[in-house]
Amino acid sequence: MSKSSNMAVSAIHRRGFSSRRALYGYAWTLPAVLCVIFFIFYPVFESARLSLTDQSLLAMETKYVGLETYKDMLTSEEFQVAFKNSVIWLIFGTLGVFVCGFLIGFFLHLDFIGSRLLTALVLLPWVIPDFVAATAWKWLTVGEFGIVSFYLEKIGFPEPSLLASSTYVLPTLILLVIWRITPLMSILVRASLESVPPEYYEAAEVDGATAWQRFIYITIPTIRYPLVIGTLLTSLFVLREFAVVWVTTQGGPVNYSEILPTFIYRQGFMYFETGPAAASSMIYFFFILTFALLYLFSFRKVWKELL
Amino acid sequence: MENIKKNKNIYRTFAFWLITIVIAFIVLFPVVWLFAASFKPDKETFMVPPSFLPHEFTFDIYQRILEGGTAKPAPWILNFFNSLKIALVTTVLTTILSALAGYGFARYRFPYKFILLLIILVGQMLPGPALLVPIAVLIENIGLTNTHTGLILLYTAFAVPFTTWLAIGNFEAIPREIEESALVDGCNQFTAFIKVVLPLSRIGLITTAIFAFLMSWSEFPFALVLIQTDEQQTMPLAMARLIREFNVFFNEMGAVTMLFTIPIFLVFLFAQKYFIRGIAAGALKG
Amino acid sequence: MRSNRLMKLISLRGASLVEVQKQKEFEFRSIFRSLINRESKFFLIALLIFMFSVNLASAVEIKVWRFGGILAEHSWEKKKITEWNNQNPDVKVVWSNQDWATKREKVISSFKARQLPDILVMDGPSIPDFVRLGVIQALDDVDSNMVGSWKNRFVPEIWNTTIYKGKFYAIPTYVDVTTFLTYNKEFVKTPPTTWSELKNMAKDLKGKSNKIPVVIAATKGTNDVNLWEGIAYGNGCRWLNEKGDKVVINDRGCVDALQLYKDLVTGGLTEDNPQEIDYYKAIVLLLEESAIMSQSMSWLKAIDSEVKGSKNPDYSLTVFPKNSNPTGSYPSANVIMAPTSAGMLTSQSKNVKAAMKFLNFFASQNFQAGWDGDPIPGRVPATKANWASPDVVKVYPDLVKLYNKGTLFKGALPMPAFPGLVQMETYMGEALQSVVMGQQDVQSALDRVAAKSQRVLDKVSN
């Protein structure tokens, strides 16, 4: 290569913090970051401020009470139940979405007649608005009117009214969420599988690798990053689901299906206790943040190069 | 030898079809029920014992919808186009922003990069109900209540975290040599980005666009709070009208859902050719 | 040298790119700023024009949000609004139907964002909360003469349901009354009037057919809690003591009322899953002939007009059976009632005079006439003129008889309404579910509700 292009290339290879490069970096990334900060962080600060008060819109005065509202929330039984349910929700929801999404995504990748149709069909649970899906599920599983409970009863299932049962209500709702969010994961998986260059497979096949070996040594490493990040992101979607619980059971029966989003909603909009609602949202936020950081930390090999 | 191969193929195809049907059934069962409900006459909606497929097939409800539907203040078509407009603009905006940001994060190092990354990620983590009132106040303060612009900007902010992280992954996967050769040929970084990197990451971009579109197409709580007049309503808001004080108009809900999802379904069906390996691999070679 | 020039070019282009980026951002921000400035300039100019044009006939726009309602009500209202807009070009009313289920979040976020409409048509029990929040204003404070002119045309007991702390806040159109018992006349010739009659009849019916003898609704929804409150108040139970500073929901009268539910469940006299059957499904079960008797409110005919079920049972409505010897410390209430579509004036209305003009129309018999049973069925009307109409007899024959005798509203109380009630009713709903699912016994469930509700009451009354 000529000297000029050498220098150009080495300019790119340089990995130091040259101020110009830093500026470029900011230029590329700031619009998106600013957008998020403006619309999401600013309201969050407002929420954080509220969480330090004991505000109830119905009470006459609002006092700054520091962390006392947090203490009240953490020690209240309702919050603890909601928290526990949210943890279960997170673990099983994410696992379910990952497994189903991966299987379906992989299956779609195999590219047979009708796979295009199936890919589009698989998308439908996500396209339907959440409260419509929730209403449909509710009427499908309700005691006398639901098809599903009708057949469950016929086959002798102990508690055919799924949403009325203290044991089955949370699993049923988690299933509903998995049903709704799997499309995201399957599309992600399929897209990342599609972007593995076929030359890699061809080369491996020439070298005599079996299908299984090709899978382990080529597919998995190549799609490692999207898979890991994708799972994290879809788990965040799982954690944001609110309407599916509110529309079906409102956290019931009693509080067997209460998760933190419904708890927060009830505090803020039913009880008008905006201080406690803000405090609970902050706690929820820290919980999610901790989970995300732990997750990223355990998969740090995958994206270390980024830094 | 030929016969054995053909048999294998037949078994293979059969197995695929079987699995396809099982998956389709599980995934679509509630959706099919909703659609089936749209063909039931009113009296069959709440029948006990319940029916899955209509006992009496009727296009009644579709006729009603064409005439405007139940208690409609604004026609479904208007709401549909509102939703479409908002979703399309959001998609374009999100794709641009996240592609830019994704590239910046993937290719550059700069101070506080991790913090910014985390900010983007964290934007995804906040529960909807908590943000409802503060965002309503914020949007009002900048004067964008009841406007589609306000919703578009908000939805973009919601979609950007997810899509940016996807974009980072995308661009990471593209080897630097390609940009380097472009730079050697005399482009600057930006042109290299546009002319070389973007076409290669086409699959990722389409995925990003799809996610952004879907996230804003069926969003409900913030639209509920920010939209005040019937003419500005999006589809989900209009569909919520069907869950009334007492009743749920399932047949109309099923029909509207069908009208709502079928366009997306068709678009997605045809957009898939950009997913297919052949074209992408071709771009790589070229 | 060439390399230097290349480097300069690259750096220049790079720098210019950053400049362009920054410029774009600056442009955006300044456009933004100028837009705002432009808008405020327009506003000032508009304001000046407005102030200097004395004879300008300005059409004022009044926004109304109507939450809930059945189809018949919507079409009647639409007709009347068109009529109003034609006759009153200076006050244009924009009537918007809003979603019932999300009404609270809609009102609160609009209130905080200062985006409330001029008039809300909502339920009476929201009034105490809204007054405390500052969402609505008292109508007799705004124009007591106008309010006085309406008063005599309304049934006094119904008029009183929208009075809070001595002030009148909302114009009722009808009340929903609870608790009633619907029964299938084919199976039940004379309806039960006491709890023991109810239980015996249900036992009897259980043996004879595979239908549910009596449906009770026990989801966490407010309506279901109201259904239970109707029965409990009928047994002399109350939420608060007379002074209003103590929660007495664990009083004997309430315990027995909840025990009735438990007895029905343990006796197998009701459906298997009351915790997911709400007031609506309860009615549909009866209409689809899966159940013989069911709890209901007065809106039964309203639901029926929309359900269009596959069967057509011959049913009738009567007041829910009472305890033959009420055990509560307070007088037994015959029924409790609340207006669920009452017109209120918000605190953020910018055209109070015009809004009041429209509210005058809202209170007029011309507008109210729709609720006399035709075209709107299943609502217990609020105006005296409606009770005299021939249509209401077709919907509520028994109630009209009692009204003419003067005894219908004698034992009727307003549904409980005070700040913090929504929270307490949520606790009550959870207790209902917990009891019918057999997880708690009645007394301890109610004790817990009382303790938690007392904390809410203390917080709210400070």
Minimal CA separation from C276 to chain A, in Å: 5
**Cα gap C277→C265, rounded to integer Å:** 13
State chain B's mean pLDDT as an integer: 78
Cβ distance A123 to B128 less than 8 Å, yes or no, reads: no
The CATH number of residue C152's host domain is 3.40.190.10
Across the range B17-30, mean pLDDT stands at 83
Same domain, C97 and C140: yes
Q: To which H or E segment does residue C182 belong?
A: strand C180-184
pLDDT of residue C348: 93
Q: Is residue A31 part of a domain?
A: no
CA distances from C11 to A72, B100, C14, C19, C111 (A): 58, 20, 5, 12, 53
Query: Which whole number is the average pLDDT over A246-251?
Result: 88
Strand pairing class (C136-137; C119-122): unpaired
Count chain A–chain C contacts defined by CB atoms under 8 A: 111
Q: Per-residue confidence at C10, pLDDT binned at 50, 70, 90?
A: very low
C137 with C77, same domain?
yes
Q: Within the 33-62 window of chain B, which residues sit less than 8 Å (CB to CB) from chain A?
A: 33-34, 46, 48-52
Retrieve residue B199's tokens.
């076409």
DSSP A252: -
| Consecutive H or E run containing B153 | helix B148-172
What is the residue range of A253's domain?
A: 70-306
Tell me which amino acid residue C4 is: N
My answer on whether C136 and C267 are in the same domain is no
Query: Is A166 part of the contact surface with chain C (CB cutoff 8 Å)?
Result: yes
Of A64-73, B214-223, C25-34, C237-246, which gets the smallest average pLDDT?
C25-34
Q: What is the pLDDT of residues B78-113, one digit of tens each?
A: 888 888 899 999 999 999 998 888 888 887 777 777
pLDDT (tens digit, 9 = 90+) per residue, B231-285? Answer: 788 888 888 877 776 777 777 788 888 877 888 888 777 777 665 544 333 333 3
Judged against a pLDDT cut of 50, whether residue C319 lies above it is answered with yes
Q: Tell me whether residue A14 is in a domain.
A: no
Chain A CB contacts of B240 under 8 Å are: 131
Cβ contacts (< 8 Å) between A56 and chain C: which residues? 459-460
The pLDDT tens digits for C386-426 are 998 888 888 888 788 888 888 788 888 999 999 889 999 99
Q: For residue A98, what are its two tokens?
A: 């990952």
Do the domain assignments include residue C130?
yes
Question: Tokens at residue B13, please?
Answer: 């195809």
Q: Do B224 and C303 touch (CB under 8 A)?
A: no
Cα separation of A295 and A289, whole Å?
10
Contact C11 A20 (CB under 8 A): yes
For residue B79, the chain C residues in CB contact (below 8 A) are none
When CB atoms are compared, the residue of C14, C101, C112 closest to B133 is: C112
Distance CA B159, CA B153 (A): 10
Q: Please give the ipTM for the structure prediction.
A: 0.83
More confident residue, A241 or A219: A241
Partner-chain residue, chosen from A31, A146, A188, that has the shortest CB–CB distance to B50: A146
Instruction: Check C39 against B42: CB less than 8 A apart.
Output: no
Which of residues 118 through 137 in chain B touch A, CB cutoff 8 A? 119-135, 137
pLDDT of C56 > 50? The answer is no
**In this complex, is the C-beta atom of A278 within 8 Å of any C-beta atom belonging to chain B?**
yes
The reply to whether residue A20 touches residue C15, judged by beta carbons under 8 angstroms, is: yes
Number of structural domains, chain C?
2
Which residues of C224-299 form beta strands (DSSP E)? 291-296
Where is average pLDDT lowest: A162-176, B151-165, B239-253, C171-185?
A: B239-253
How do residues A65-80 score in pLDDT, each as one tens digit? 778 888 888 998 899 9
Q: Is B126's CB within 8 Å of A44's CB?
A: yes
Asked if A145 lies within 8 A of B179 by C-beta distance, the reply is no
Q: How far apart are CA C39 and CA C44, in angstroms?
A: 9
Rounded Cα gap, residues B67 and A145, in angstroms: 30
Write phi, then psi, for C167 (nearest 5 degrees).
-115, 150
Q: Which chains touch C (3 or more CB pairs under 8 A)?
A: A, B
Sign of the torsion formed by the C-alpha atoms of C155, C160, C162 and C163? positive
State residue A1's pLDDT score: 44
Gap from B118 CA to chain A (nearest CA, Å): 9
Same domain, C331 and C407: no
Residue A275's contacts (CB-CB under 8 Å, 6 or more residues apart) are: A50, A51, A53, A54, A55, A56, A62, A65, A69
Q: How confident is the model at residue B27 (pLDDT cuts 50, 70, 90)?
A: confident
Substitution target from B224, B228, B234, B241 for chain C, most C beta carbons within 10 A: B228
Chain B residues contacting C via beta carbons under 8 Å: 42-44, 46-48, 70-71, 73, 132-133, 136-137, 139-140, 143, 145-146, 188-190, 221, 224-225, 228-230, 237, 240-241, 243-247
Query: Model confidence over C428-440: pLDDT tens digits?
Result: 999 999 999 999 9
Exposure class string for B142-173: b at 16+ Cβ within 10 A, else e = eebbbebebbbbbbbbbbbbbbbbbbbbbbbb
Strand duo C180-184 + C291-296: pairing: antiparallel
CATH number, residue A111: 1.10.3720.10
Please check whether residues C294 and C237 belong to one and the same domain. yes
Determine the average pLDDT of the residues in C175-182. 91
Predicted local confidence at residue C42, as pLDDT? 53
Question: Is residue C37, in this structure, part of any structural domain at all?
Answer: no
Q: Please indicate, yes or no, if residue A300 is contained in any of the structural domains.
A: yes
User: What chain C residue is nearest to A138 in terms of C-alpha separation?
Assistant: C276
Average pLDDT for residues A267-273, to the nearest whole number? 87
Q: Would you say residue A19 lies in a domain?
A: no
Kindly list the residues from chain C whose CB atom is less than 8 angstroms away from the CB atom of residue A164: 273, 275-276
- Tokens (6 digits) for B212: 């952004």
- Answer yes or no: do B246 and C36 touch at CB < 8 A: no
For the segment B191-201, the average pLDDT, to the nearest whole number, is 77
List chain B residues with CB under 8 Å of C75: 71
> The dihedral of CA C66, C72, C76, C78: what is its sign?
positive
Nearest chain A CA: its distance from B93 CA (Å): 10
Residue C71 lies in a domain: yes
What's the rounded Cα separation, in Å, for the pair A261 and A251? 10
Interface check for C223 against chain A (CB to CB < 8 A): the answer is no
- From the list C210, C223, C217, C194, the residue with the least C-alpha distance to C291 is C210
Using one digit for the tens of pLDDT, what is the confidence trace for C342-396?
Answer: 999 999 999 999 999 999 999 999 999 999 888 888 889 999 999 988 888 888 8
Q: Please, what's the largest Cα pairwise distance for chain A?
A: 81
What pLDDT is recorded for position C303?
Answer: 83
Between vectors from CA C27 to CA C24 and to CA C32, what angle results, nearest 5°? 130
Find, in chain A, the residue whose alpha carbon is nearest to that of B221: A243
pTM of the full structure = 0.84
What local confidence, expressed as pLDDT, does residue B4 receive? 59
Q: Is C446 exposed, middle or buried (0-12, 13-18, 19+ CB in 10 A)?
A: buried
Provide, as residue numbers in chain A, all residues whose Cβ is less than 8 Å from the Cβ of C438: none
At B156 the pLDDT is 92
User: Are residues C121 and C203 both part of a single domain?
Assistant: no
Structure tokens belonging to residue C25: 């951002």
Counted domains in chain A: 1
8 Å CB contact of B73 and C96: yes
**Domain annotation covers residue C53:** no
Q: Does A12 touch chain C (CB under 8 A)?
A: no
Domain that holds residue C134: 60-173+339-412
Q: What is the DSSP letter of C162?
A: G
Of A4, A161, A265, Cβ closest to residue C6: A4
Which residues, in sequence order, are CB contacts of C405 under 8 Å at separation 6+?
A: none
Residue A93 lies in a domain: yes
Q: Which three-class secondary structure state does DSSP give residue C316?
A: strand
Judged by DSSP in three states, C96 sits in: strand
Q: How many residues comprise chain C?
A: 462
Q: Is the pLDDT of residue C295 over 90?
A: yes
C214 and C321: one domain? yes
pLDDT over threshold 80, residue B136: yes
Which residues in chain B are contacts of C312 at CB distance < 8 A?
none
Whose structure tokens read 């469950």?
A152
Helical spans, DSSP H, in C114-167: 127-133, 139-142, 144-151, 156-159
Q: Which residue, among A144, A157, A173, A257, would best test binding to C if mutated, counting the most C CBs under 10 Å from its CB? A: A144
Residue C369 Cα, gap to closest chain B Cα (Å): 20
Retrieve residue C343's tokens.
């017109």
pLDDT exceeds cutoff 70 at C108? yes
Q: Do A222 and B173 touch (CB under 8 A)?
A: yes
Tell me whether residue A17 is in a domain.
Answer: no
Q: Choose, out of B12, B20, B183, the residue to mutate when testing the contact with A (most A CBs < 10 Å).
A: B20
pLDDT for res C429: 94
Domain with CATH 1.10.3720.10 in chain B: 76-241
**Given an 8 Å threshold on Cβ–Cβ distance, is C426 in contact with A60?**
no
Distance CA(C316)–CA(C300), nearest Å, equals 10
CA distances from A178 to A121, A152, A186, C345 (A): 16, 20, 12, 45
Neighbours of A299 (CB within 10 A): 17
Segment of B118-122, B226-230, C228-232 carrying the highest mean pLDDT: C228-232
From chain C, the residues in CB contact with B231 under 8 A are none
CATH class of B76-241: mainly alpha
- Whether C1 is in a domain gets the answer no
* Chain C environment of B229 (Cβ under 8 Å): 94, 96
* Alpha helices (H) in C364-441, listed in sequence order: 365-368, 384-387, 390-395, 397-405, 421-436
Q: Do B179 and A43 touch (CB under 8 A)?
A: no
pLDDT digits (tens, 9 = 90+) for B40-82: 877 777 777 777 777 777 777 777 766 665 545 567 778 888 8
pLDDT score at A70: 87
- The per-residue pLDDT for A135 is 87
B162–A129 C-beta distance less than 8 A: no
- The beta-carbon neighbor of B284 closest among A24, A38, A197 is A197
Q: Are residues C230 and C330 in the same domain?
A: yes
DSSP-assigned states of every residue in A132-178: HHHHHHHHHHSTTT-HHHHHHHHTT-S---GGG-TTTHHHHHHHHHH
Decide the pairing of beta strands C60-67 and C291-296: unpaired
**CA angle centred on C198, ends C227 and C414, rounded to 5°:** 30
**Contact of C199 with C269, CB cutoff 8 Å:** yes
Contacts of A201 (CB under 8 A, 6+ apart): A214, A218
Nearest CA to A8 out of C4, B175, B194, B178 is that of C4
Q: Based on the domain organization, do C243 and C100 belong to the same domain? A: no
Say which amino acid occupies B35.
F
**Whether C328 and C442 share a structural domain:** yes
Do C187 and C290 share a structural domain? yes
Residue-averaged pLDDT of chain C: 85
Residue B197 has pLDDT above 50, yes or no: yes
Nearest by CB: B24 against A38, A118, A139? A118
Torsion angle defined by CA atoms of residues B185, B188, B190 and B195, in that order, rounded to the nearest 10 degrees: -20
* Residue C21 domain flag: no
Contact between C413 and C331 (Cβ < 8 Å): no
What pLDDT is recorded for position C41? 54
My answer on whether C299 and C444 are in the same domain is yes
Q: Is A66 helix (H, G, I), strand (E, B) or coil?
A: coil
